[in-house]
Amino acid sequence: MEGSVCTAPVSDTGVQGNSSRLGTRLATLRERLRLTYGDSHGLRRVSQQPMGLRTEIVFPTKEQS
């Protein structure tokens, strides 16, 4: 990625809810980011110990005129 980017971290402890659809939700988010930003986006999953998941969503910022 070139230029300025914004990184938005999202954390989930995994304690509540149904995690069986997590892969589908991340795939849907990745597709929406791709349609909006093309190749100028990123979605990184980072494990949180002892449980849970942290995802970092990276996308380009719009330059102000």
Q: What is the pLDDT of residues 16-56, one digit of tens each?
A: 655 566 667 778 888 998 999 888 888 888 777 777 788 88
Domain membership of residue 65 (yes or no) is no
Domain membership of residue 47 (yes or no) is yes
Query: In this predicted structure, what is the pLDDT of residue 35?
Result: 92
Query: In this predicted structure, what is the pLDDT of residue 49?
Result: 72
Number of folded domains in the chain?
Answer: 1
Domain membership of residue 23 (yes or no) is yes
Domain with 19, as residue range(s), is: 5-60
Query: In this predicted structure, what is the pLDDT of residue 1?
Result: 44
Domain membership of residue 22 (yes or no) is yes
Say what the pTM is.
Answer: 0.64
Residue 9 has pLDDT above 60, yes or no: yes
DSSP string, 2-41: -S-EEEEEEEE-SSSS-GGGHHHHHHHHHHHHHHHHTTS-
Query: In this predicted structure, what is the pLDDT of residue 55?
Result: 86
